[in-house]
A and B are shown apart, each in its own frame.
Chain A
Amino acid sequence: MTTVNPILVSLLLPLVGALLISMTGRWPNLRETITLVTAVTVAVVVWSLVPEVMAGGRPELQVVHLFGDLQIAFTVEPLGMLFGALAATLWIVNSIYSIGYMRGNNEKKQTRFYVCFAIAIAAALGVAFAGNLLTLFLCYEILTLSTYPLVSHKGDRATVASARVYLGILLGTSIGLLLPAIIWTYLVAGTLTFAPEGILAGHIDGPAVGLLLALFVFGVGKAAVMPVHKWLPAAMVAPTPVSALLHAVAVVKAGVFTITKVIIYVFGVDNLFSEPSSGWLMYAAAFTIIAASVVALRQQNLKRMLAYSTIGQLSYVIMAAALLKPLSEIGAAVHIVAHAFGKITLFFAAGAIYTAAKKTELSQLSGIGARMPWTMAAFTIGALSMIGVPPTGGFVSKWFILAGAFESDNYVAIFTIITSTALNAAYFLPIIFAAWFGREVEGGKDHGEAPWPMVLALSLTALATLGFFFFNQPVLDLESQLVSQLP
């Protein structure tokens, strides 16, 4: 028996799943079963790669050779492994949640929803495992296009307008800035295949480095560094499972993951460190963190507030990566995981509240803790993780990023982290306080918890948020390989 390449399987399975889902649209129970089975199988296959990568292996898969040195090929390295495993695992939880949400809200076109979701996951895994910039770009664009029907799911005028902003910014930045950056890289370095020491090392210096870095950072619109962040609040018109998995994990993390990967594998940490013209990135990220937190403070809509919170948290990862210190690079990777657990919990809670109570505004949440204790408990855990309070996952990553900042004596970064922590507390704590101790507005609808699949899903992710505080060693081990690779 010939061995089947697990990378290929993990990329094709969601697509096969999508095909099956589209054919079984008439029987919802069968359709949902297929979604869940596919999600579990994909997760198993992706996890089966972990031991090899942990042991220092780099599974590879070459698909197509285009011309020159351009090819579509995949290589699994620690960072991608982490992102891939995260997306695949959370897809299971999210599928459970989706079933509750889509049925609970009687959404239309559920088949299309599940099909696009599966394709988006395949694309996210493709981004995670991409072995060169071209493959990454290909999967990045597929991710954008496959999530568009999800964002515009409702199909009314306002939704379509928001979805247009979503697609316009993501496609526009990627074609307008990222593609020229990739071609420039190819012409300068002669290759696009990721290399641990950075493929641009020794090929480019001076202000060009700063310019190329800017093309990359703003070209990857998914990372939502201001001013290309507007698409994320716009994407909140999507059904909540989409916001939860895609716009808190898969899509946005694909963005910061790409930037981290570009910093490490394309520019090379050492190369970038010795080049003063790249210093602006840290400040841009710091500005985004503070500004997004301030904007979040002023939001009235729960999902929009979470979106701005995400923008800030994404820039944590970018700032950590831009500090260019071993500890901060680990912090960046860990924060991808920690924030994923926390933010998906928060979105799950927001969706549960919408499904059970049809409430979307912050002012309506007063006293809701008594009616939905599970949901609000999970929400509290997620919020604490965003602020970075132990014992939640958010604390771990913040610790590493702070340590990295101290290591490089970067007081701007330290100041940013402390300020943003205070701001995060300022916008999350009043909600939590009001939810538990406030008095409910009179005349509201009588309701209890959301359907059980949703509660189950958000409890699981809340547990993961707590668990990550205690069991983060495997992630650290995996990602310390990143650092040990650094010269």
Chain B
Amino acid sequence: MSLTSQLPALQVVVPMLTAPMVMLLRGSSLAWAAATAASVMAFCIAIALTLGVHDAGVLTYAMGGWPAPFGIELRIDAFNVLLLLITTGASSVALLSGRFSLARDLPEDRQPLFYAAWMVALTGLSGIAVTGDAFNVFVFMEISSLAGYILVAAGPDRRALTATIKYLVMGTIGATFYLIGVGLVYMMTGTLNFADMEVRLAEVTDRAPILLAAGFITVGLALKAAVFPLHFWLPNAYHHAPHMVTVFLAACATKVALYVLLRFDFVVFQGNLVGHMAQYAGFLAPLAILGILVGSAIAVVEGHLKRLLAYSSVAQIGYILLGASFGDMAGLSAAFTHMFNHALAKGGLFLVLAAFALRTSGLRLRDVAGLAHRMPLTCAALLILGASLVGIPGTAGFISKWLLLSAAFQQGPLGMVAVVVVVLSSLAAVVYVWKIVEQLYFGEPEDVSDKAATRTQASPFKSEAPAMLLLGIWVVALANIYFGLFPGFTVSLSESAAAGLMSHLP
């Protein structure tokens, strides 16, 4: 057996084995280096898997040599690699550029433990993305969530703790709901393998437990994915977590939950429940629309930058869900493209905030006034990332907005409502991004020392972000432009991911 065929397992094993190793390492630098190396390696594996999926279509791996449906099967198609790329990419960028930011947020002796938790979170998130087994998803989901709670609790002030407990309670309820749903499906089918469930469900005559299972699973995962109105844990968790953790979680945590939701629904339920598409769309579309509107509206009036972006995330999750709720090829591929592009834009923006936090007393809007004079390069990157979030042409955000609007136009009269909502929220995005930009470039710093620092423009680059962080920010910003001008890769990957899900429709 060549190493290549082991890649699906290695994707999970590499960070998993790194975790205890990192914990044993003494000295934060060494721990950071090991974690980063593992994360970058995971990213490379994800790229290799992408190439493999591009050639072969679907990669499968029987865990321990037990064939599916008896053993646990790892199953990787275009949708999975999209998730893997987002997850490992976000983790790598955050770790690579986050050394200073994390060193400031955390005491020296805690850092190895923190990086170990990070590795466990990465293990869980990658695990969800590779496995084809419903119970395995639950285990990995809880692994990633438990590690995620630890990462959030590492936040610098005590409110991180209350945010964590809220996150923990909600996350556990969501996971338990999912577990109930899986149990019900198992009761009726006797299998845990997604593909096998689809086949065996067709033979089940009593549909009531299945319907109940669909309900439990959808609500549970919606909680995990922070779908409106189950989003209330998210702004607090993003706000009080260490900045780099926010980068990591914002880019992938909710998207992974959405992935499970869509995979479960399309693979297992859509083909077997008559009229399920109407229930599914009728349930998700209104939530998506409300989420978009409410998230955008709160972001417009919010005065704290991290919370502002967190509420913007609530709206963006709505975009993804809206595309997915159309339940057709165009909608799904728009949703998947947006998963990728939003991770790029939002991850980058949180990186910028991390850079700001190193040089300001806080992240409220008035704290960053006039910062563009002190951090010109960081602020320039924020312009690009903000443009991508708004959906200005030439950036990645434009591509997904285009696809989403096209998909909505094809939905008939109800689609028009979606078009109006997306357009309104884009305008709201203009407002909240511009609010930040205007403060950065034209605001008058309140703080006296900041004011002096702004005025003495002897060397504007002296107070720039650390080189690695700046590099990370610009790599992400340029990636936003690259994927805006050459969207062939993301669009084709999303289309084959969507085609994979659509093939399960009756």
The answer to the question of A415 belonging to the interface, with a C-beta cut-off of 8 Å to chain B, is no
Interface string of B443-469 (1 = CB under 8 A from A): 000000000000000000000000000
Q: Nearest Cβ distance between residue A70 and chain B, in whole angstroms?
A: 8
B13, chain A: closest CB distance, angstroms:
36
Within 8 Å of chain A (Cβ to Cβ): is B394? Answer: yes
Contact with A along B338-372 (1 / 0, CB 8 A): 00000000000000000000000000000000000
Task: Tell me the minimal C-beta distance from B85 to chain A in angstroms.
Answer: 18
Say whether A164 contacts B438, CB under 8 Å.
yes
| A171 contacts across to B, CB distance below 8 A | 390, 430
Interface contact B423-A180, CB-CB below 8 Å: yes
Does A403 interact with chain B (Cβ within 8 Å)?
A: no
Whole-angstrom CA separation of A145 from B434 in the bound complex? 11
| Highest count of chain A CB atoms <10 Å: which of B402, B409, B410 | B402
Residues of chain A within 8 A (CB-CB) of B69 are: none
Cβ-based interface call for A175 (8 A): yes
The SS class assigned to the B binding surface is helix
Q: Is the CB of A145 within 8 A of B423?
A: no
- Taking CB atoms, residues of chain A closer than 8 Å to B401 are 179
Give Cα distance in the complex from A72 to B488, angstroms.
13
Q: Is the CB of B405 within 8 A of A164?
A: no
B485 to nearest A CB, angstroms? 5
Interface size on A, residues (CB 8 A): 28
> What secondary structure prevails in chain A residues at the interface with B?
helix
- Knowing A175-B427, A175-B430, A187-B406, say if A64 contacts B485 (CB, 8 Å): yes
CB-based contact B394/A138 at 8 Å: yes
Q: How distant is the Cα of A66 from the Cα of B395 in the complex, in angstroms?
A: 12
Chain A minimum-CB-distance residue to B426: A175
Contacts of A373 in B (CB 8 A): none
* A137–B393 CB distance below 8 A: yes
Q: Which residues of B contact A137 (CB under 8 A)?
A: 393
Cα distance A457–B419 in the bound complex, in angstroms: 48
CB-based nearest A residue for B390: A175
| Complex Cα spacing A138 to B424, Å | 20
CB of B399 within 8 A of CB of A187, answer: no
Q: Which residues of B contact A152 (CB under 8 A)?
A: 442
Q: Could you say which residues of chain A place their CB within 8 Å of the CB of B399?
A: 66
Within residues 132 to 177 of chain A, which ones have a CB less than 8 A from any CB in chain B? 134, 137-138, 141-142, 145, 152, 155, 160, 164, 167-168, 171-172, 175-176
Q: Is B491 an interface residue (CB 8 A)?
A: yes
**C-beta contact mask, B464-506 vs A, less than 8 Å → 1, else 0?**
0000000000000000000001111001100000000000000
C-alpha gap A167/B423 in the complex (Å):
16
Tell me, in angstroms, the Cα distance from A266 to B390 when the chains sit together: 26
Closest Cβ–Cβ distance, residue B159 to chain A (whole Å): 33
Q: How far is the CB of B64 from chain A (nearest CB, A)?
A: 41
- Contact pattern, B 385-421, Cβ under 8 Å of A = 1, otherwise 0: 0010011111000010110011001100000000100
Residues of B within 8 A of A160 (CB): 438, 442
Q: B394's closest neighbor in chain A, by CB?
A: A138
Question: A-facing mask of B420-440, CB < 8 A → 1, else 0?
Answer: 000110110011001000100
B405, B491, B492: the one contacting A183 at CB < 8 Å is B405
> In the bound complex, how far is the Cα of B405 from the Cα of A186, in angstroms?
11
Out of A72, A155, A175, which one reaches B423, CB within 8 Å?
A175
Q: Which has the most chain B C-beta neighbours within 10 Å: A66, A160, A167?
A: A66
Are B485 and A180 interface neighbours, CB within 8 A?
no
A residues with a Cβ closer than 8 A to B are 64-67, 70, 72, 134, 137-138, 141-142, 145, 152, 155, 160, 164, 167-168, 171-172, 175-176, 179-180, 183-184, 186-187
**B residues engaging A (CB < 8 A)?**
387, 390-394, 399, 401-402, 405-406, 409-410, 419, 423-424, 426-427, 430-431, 434, 438, 442, 485-488, 491-492
- 18 pairs from A and B in contact (CB 8 Å cutoff): A66-B485, A66-B486, A67-B487, A67-B491, A138-B393, A138-B394, A141-B392, A141-B394, A145-B387, A160-B442, A164-B434, A171-B390, A175-B423, A175-B426, A176-B423, A179-B402, A179-B405, A184-B409
Known contacts A168-B431, A172-B430; 17 further A-B pairs (Cβ under 8 A):
A64-B485, A66-B399, A66-B485, A67-B488, A72-B485, A137-B393, A138-B394, A141-B393, A164-B438, A167-B434, A168-B430, A171-B390, A175-B391, A175-B427, A176-B427, A183-B405, A187-B406
